Amino acid sequence: MNIAELDQIRHSTAHVMAEAVGELFPGTRFGIGPSIEDGFYYDFDSKHTFTPDDLERIEQRMHEIIAQKRPFTKKVLDRADAKELMKDQPYKLELIDELPEDEEISFYTSGSFTDLCRGPHVDDTGALGHFKLTKLAGAYWHGDSDRPMLQRIYGTAWEDDAQLDEYLTRMEEAEKRDHRKLGRELDLFSFSEEAGAGLPMYHPKGARVMRLLQDWLRAALYERGYVEAITPHVYKSDVWKRSGHWENYRDNMYFFEINDGDEKHPKINEYGIKPMNCPGHLMIYADNLHSYRDLPIRLFEFGTVYRHELSGVVHGLMRARSFTQDDAHIFCRADQVADEVNAMLDLVDYIMNTFGFTYTAELSTRPEKSMGTDETWEFTTSILKDTLDKRGIDYEINEGDGAFYGPKIDIHLRDAIGRTWQCSTIQFDALMPEKFDLEYRTADNTVERPYMLHRAILGSMERFFGILIEHYAGAFPVWLAPVQATIIPISDDQLEAAESVARDLSSAGVRVEIDSSAERMGAKIAKATAQKVPYMLIMGKREIENGVVAVRHRTDGDMGTMKLDEFTELVTSQKPG
């Protein structure tokens, strides 16, 4: 079964769910009910507040409807008749008003439920039945926080029960791996309601993992000819007006006022907290004269940015208001662009292979709200497309989803339990260099503008960290583990020797901690195992006398005794990839 056929099953199941809700909860008003990846949802405006128990009732009624094999029938109405049909459904009336004058207004009916819908649908409800309602959520109408909050019911639907069971098993595993749950259990990060939604606070272990990731990637970038920059977190609004963010991205930014004068001569300026790092890199480039021989210039930064996300869509590390990007901007000549894009895709391949991710790509083209000429967009889009084609990377075209300043390649990775995540992005920008008046001297001593490539490979480091937590179920590879070994003295008599071993291991580059609690050895081992520490070093009287440590692995168990230098080599030899 192809994607289109599966979408029909899911969308048709959404209609059945809406019919069941309408019958069980009279007076409900209906929003929208599309198919989505792995399932569907429908938004409802009901006086009744839905509960998990209601989902069971709705499911039961859906099965009864499906068993009747009710056909889906289509009819087309003119605008006046369509409004008359939906006169008691204000959200549907609004949708009708939003339709272009020349667009067909169609409805699909199944049983007692008629819905404004483009279709298509399955022939009858008998083709359905392999579904499960999964969760409840709130959703603003049209995603606008100034509009009514509706109740959203999510579900999943598949071709047969085997596929449904496989999906539900995968979701159970995903719940066990939830990075928010593991983040608390492993003491990696937290969020504070007092501080505000979407603002992660890294505890020492989480901070260690983030720094390890950055240090590893930093070394790889220096090897590839990048140089590092550090830019401010805020700029005057003049910068954002020049870059185009004021016009195109202002609703996603935070602004505030500062008096840049004094009490006698106040000078109030508006500042914006950066949602992106690019203006700083543009200004760094503009601060010096450049020749064609200087290019390409590859500036990178682990820059923390801030974006105004609605509280309803904030989701742990996966979608935060404060996050750090492994950002870079490459300034190059036209004849260098294809090679630079190709090198970025080499870097993507290296990083994805390091963590065992497979991936696909998506080429996003010019959005409706954009800047620049048709010729510029055609040129920049063709460069990205040609590079993907030559590499043979599997990709899809995502029409109209590019950045406002240029087309982009987005990389979608697949994790250990088969979920896909969008992380890396490569964006072609011929507009920002013009806005910031960037130049370089050619071999003929004339002036040209450089092209600019934006790229982030891990993307949001918060999001990537969350993906890694779930990918590894919290059991990071040894090179990335915040604590690589826990030393467990059997009694306090071995504590002094354990501290000496810890100092030696630390000096050799091993990240180590000592469990000096009064708990029994078995409890200490269980605790270290639950914390996903790769190795436990048991130290009793016999081990100290023999100058060894008894080594346990978090999953493989007892590994026997080792000399300290042997264990050190075991740990430090484990590298990325």
Which residues are annotated as catalytic?
278, 307, 325, 327, 329, 408, 454
Single out the residue of 58, 56, 61 nearest to residue 44, CA to CA: 58
Contacts of 104 (CB under 8 A, 6+ apart): 76
Instruction: Answer positive or negative: Cα dihedral of 159, 162, 164, 170.
Output: negative
Q: How far is CA 265 from CA 57, 261, 268, 498, 524, in A?
A: 68, 6, 10, 65, 65
Looking at residue 520, the DSSP 8-state letter turns out to be -
Query: What angle (nearest 5°) sits at the alpha carbon of residue 220, between those of residues 215 and 222?
Result: 95
CA-based angle 265:270:272, to the nearest 5? 150
- Nearest CA to 270 out of 259, 253, 256, 260 is that of 256
Which tokens is 346 given? 């080499």
Smallest Cα–Cα separation from 301: which of 332, 280, 315, 285? Answer: 280
Residue 568, both tokens: 């050190």
What gap in Å lies between CA 240 and CA 258, rounded to an integer?
Answer: 16
Burial of 251 (0-12, 13-18, 19+ CB in 10 A): exposed
Contacts of 496 (CB under 8 A, 6+ apart): none
Q: What is the C-alpha to C-alpha distance for residues 172 and 417, in angstroms, rounded to an integer?
A: 11
The β-bridge partners of 429 are: 452
Q: Among candidates 462, 573, 410, which has minimal Cα distance to 207?
A: 462
107-143 burial by CB neighbour count: b if 16+ within 10 A, else e? bbbbbebbbbbeebbbebbebbbbbbbbeeeebbbbe
CB 187 within 8 A of CB 201: no
CB atoms within 10 A of CB 439: 15
Q: Residue 519 corresponds to which tokens in the numbers above?
A: 């708990």
249: helix, coil or strand? helix
Dihedral sign for Cα atoms in the order 568, 569, 575, 577: negative
Mapped onto helix, strand or coil, the DSSP state of residue 414 is: strand
Strands, DSSP E only, in 449-493?
451-460, 485-489
Amino acid at 371: M
Q: For residue 151, list its beta bridge partners.
A: 44, 138
Residue with tokens 């004021």: 246
171 C-beta neighbours (distance < 10 Å), count? 17
